[in-house]
Amino acid sequence: MKTRIESFADASRYAPHYPPRCGKALDEAILSTPAYQVWRKRDPGDSTGVFSRLASLSALTKHDLRTHGPGGFVPHGRSLDEGLASGQIELVNTSGTTGDRVSNVWYQPWWDASEAASSQLNSHARSLLAGGHREAILTSPWCTGFPCEDGFLTLEQRTAGRFLYLSERSDPSLWPESLMDRMIDDLNRFRPSILEANPSFLAKLARHIVRAKLRVFHPPLIILTYENPSVLHLRQIRRAFESPIASSYGSTEAGYVFMECEAGRLHQVTDSCHVDFLPLAAEHGGPDVGRILVTTFDNPWRSLVRFDTGDIVRLSRQTPCPCGRHEGLTLLSVEGRTVNLTLTPGGRAVTQGAVDRVLGNVTGLLEYQLVQTGPAAYTLGFATGEPPARQVAGEVRDVLQSLYGPAASITTNAVEAITPDPPGKYRLTRALSPIDADYLLDTRFAPQREPDHDH
């Protein structure tokens, strides 16, 4: 007998026009988009509420995106080739931290609308993102910008319209001081309305600013994106910049999905997407901690339903948020990626966020990377400023021991700096043997895995 899959969305608050938009996105996928044809047999149909319909369907994975290619997700028989030939759309490749490349259809008007919708969820962003604002960007140039790992580019070579790219180099551990001085000089002259930054990159610059006591322009808003910010990185950035800081969460595939408000919570961008929340089982941190699947609205060139972004989030239970917003999901935090999960020796899941919170309290710790090397073995590489590494090593071992339990064997290695993974993203935690996050889910909210998703 088939048991009904529960949907978390039934307990969330939405505007009256919202469920019909979800229904439209789902019908468009099931009825007129090639990649979703195999989902038809699982769809209970529109006599059932849209959230229950969505809940009974599989997750869409990056593997699915690669299998069907960008053309498989174009709805209503539109021609990908004609769209490309006319310049309406282009193809953009992403390379995730696990090295899996996906080719995505990029339709700029949809992306801009998604960004504009997200800006409504933060009052600083709302006033600044009105259009035409100057923006400085500090991230890996391989994510966006102009890479040059050998030699340096001029200001003109790093400028595109209203955007200035602060770094052509993708590894902050190798940045010379002269490069960071140039970034500060750029900020002081360019005076951007917004500084959009990868938090680990900006933290490196912030440490330089504080250490050398440099004067720097404080942008009206700093938006952190590309990476989930570590408590340590955030604290280092706050020491150097007085600007308000907001985290923006999204992806090339799904657009803008969550935006941090003035009260420090992340609100779902309900104008551009629906988010299904799949809680983890109680022993792994549920029901407040879970995975998210994103369904996008109104992209004429891309039908995306229940796309697994590969991230784990923690819900905020304080409703409404102190900022007054209450629509859709509200998060306390993004807990990191499923590929960054580790397990205790007893088999309980530990998110990157949980590791980060305990290490974030250690005085003198600048950067770290934790690797689970065996069922009960963990190695922490860490970099310190003052006090010396030996003192910090004892403290990091203690806090990790209390997190993973007495059976955990913890090794610490003091290093000069942590190097990001290609294309330039820090991975704070990971396990050498990947963890299958499907088995951590609360089964009341997750349909059985389809055989064609096992590979």
Residues at the site binding Zn ion, with contacts judged by CB under 5 A: 261, 263, 265, 321, 323, 325
Using the minimum distance from each CB to Zn ion, give the nearer residue, 323 or 376.
323
- How far lies 296's CA from each of 91, 252, 380, in Å? 18, 12, 38
- Shortest distance in whole angstroms from residue 262 CB to Zn ion: 7
- Shortest distance in whole angstroms from residue 64 CB to Zn ion: 33
Using the minimum distance from each CB to Zn ion, give the nearer residue, 237 or 246.
246
- Shortest distance in whole angstroms from residue 124 CB to Zn ion: 13
- Shortest distance in whole angstroms from residue 270 CB to Zn ion: 13
* Spatial separation of the C-alpha atoms in residues 154 and 160, rounded to whole Å: 12
- HEC readout, 96-127: CCCCCEEEEEECHHHHHHHHHHHHCCCHHHHH
Using the minimum distance from each CB to Zn ion, give the nearer residue, 208 or 325.
325
Residue 118: how many other CB atoms lie within 10 Å: 29
- Shortest distance in whole angstroms from residue 261 CB to Zn ion: 3
* Measured CA angle at 369 (ends 262, 232), to 5 deg: 30
Sign of torsion over alpha carbons 213, 217, 220, 224 = negative
- Shortest distance in whole angstroms from residue 221 CB to Zn ion: 16
Using the minimum distance from each CB to Zn ion, give the nearer residue, 216 or 263.
263
Using the minimum distance from each CB to Zn ion, give the nearer residue, 40 or 126.
126
* Spatial separation of the C-alpha atoms in residues 329 and 134, rounded to whole Å: 31
Max CA distance (Å), the chain: 68
At 53 the three-state DSSP class reads helix
- Shortest distance in whole angstroms from residue 259 CB to Zn ion: 9
Report yes or no: 257 and 311 within 8 Å, Cβ to Cβ: no
- Shortest distance in whole angstroms from residue 260 CB to Zn ion: 8
Residue with tokens 């009341």: 444
Sequence-distant contacts of 152-156: CB under 8 A, at least 24 apart:
152/179, 152/182, 155/186
Cα-to-chain-centroid distance, residue 213: 32
- Shortest distance in whole angstroms from residue 235 CB to Zn ion: 21
Give me the residues paired with residue 314 across strands. 289, 333
State the amino acid at position 271 in one-letter form.
Answer: D
- Shortest distance in whole angstroms from residue 450 CB to Zn ion: 37
Using the minimum distance from each CB to Zn ion, give the nearer residue, 204 or 265.
265
85-108 per-residue burial string, b: 16 or more CB within 10 A, e: under 16:
eeeebeeeebebbeeeebebbebe
Using the minimum distance from each CB to Zn ion, give the nearer residue, 265 or 337.
265
- Shortest distance in whole angstroms from residue 327 CB to Zn ion: 10
**Residues 75, 79, 80, 82: what is their CA dihedral angle, to the nearest 10 degrees?**
-150
Report yes or no: 104 and 91 within 8 Å, Cβ to Cβ: yes
Using the minimum distance from each CB to Zn ion, give the nearer residue, 330 or 342.
330
Using the minimum distance from each CB to Zn ion, give the nearer residue, 127 or 448.
127
Using the minimum distance from each CB to Zn ion, give the nearer residue, 118 or 372.
118
Using the minimum distance from each CB to Zn ion, give the nearer residue, 123 or 401.
123
Sign of torsion over alpha carbons 184, 187, 190, 195 = positive
Sequence-separated (6 or more) residues with CB below 8 Å from residue 344 = 350, 404, 405, 408
At 8 the three-state DSSP class reads helix
Using the minimum distance from each CB to Zn ion, give the nearer residue, 12 or 170.
12
- Shortest distance in whole angstroms from residue 264 CB to Zn ion: 8
Report yes or no: 296 and 272 within 8 Å, Cβ to Cβ: yes
